[in-house]
Amino acid sequence: MEEAKIKSILENKLTLLVKLTRQMEKLLKSIDQNDEPSLTKILDEKESVIKSLVSEDQELKKGVALLDEKSRVAIANKFKDLGTKIEKEIEKIIRMENDCEKKLLNEKFELLEKMKSTRNGRTLLKGYGVSKRIKPKISGSI
């Protein structure tokens, strides 16, 4: 009975990880395209999948805790191929997360450079005597 439950949890976890991988691919595309609305939508979806994964992990821990050592070893050997598939998906997701992080850091540095150049440009303009703000000749409410 417990074996079937653990198998279904692992299969569900693998399905969620595949879904997360697809969302990471969409995330990379939206970062490349600078599409902020879709980026926030994808991040919200990703967060819900991660919550589901956390609940699956907690359920798996509860199921494994009820088993004795001999049963754990037997189930681990039986579902070894499922475990390797899960590990491969996790490795894919980690690589994609690292790519996203690098791209976002590059975007951040580019924005900082633009901000610095704008600030420097304003400083240079002050040397040429930028026109002062024109104040209205009629003051107060009319």
- Alpha-carbon distance of 11 to 86, in angstroms, equals 9
Residue 43 CB partners (closer than 8 Å, separation 6+): 27
The two three-digit tokens of residue 10, written as one number: 């692992």
Q: Torsions phi, psi of 134, nearest 5?
A: -85, 120
- Alpha-carbon distance of 91 to 84, in angstroms, equals 10
pTM for this structure? 0.72
- Alpha-carbon distance of 23 to 61, in angstroms, equals 26
Per-residue pLDDT of the chain (142 residues; tens, 9 = 90+): 478 888 898 899 999 999 999 999 998 888 888 888 888 898 899 999 999 999 999 998 888 888 888 888 888 888 889 889 999 999 999 999 999 899 889 888 888 888 877 766 665 556 555 566 666 666 655 5
Secondary structure of residue 47 in the 3-state scheme:
helix
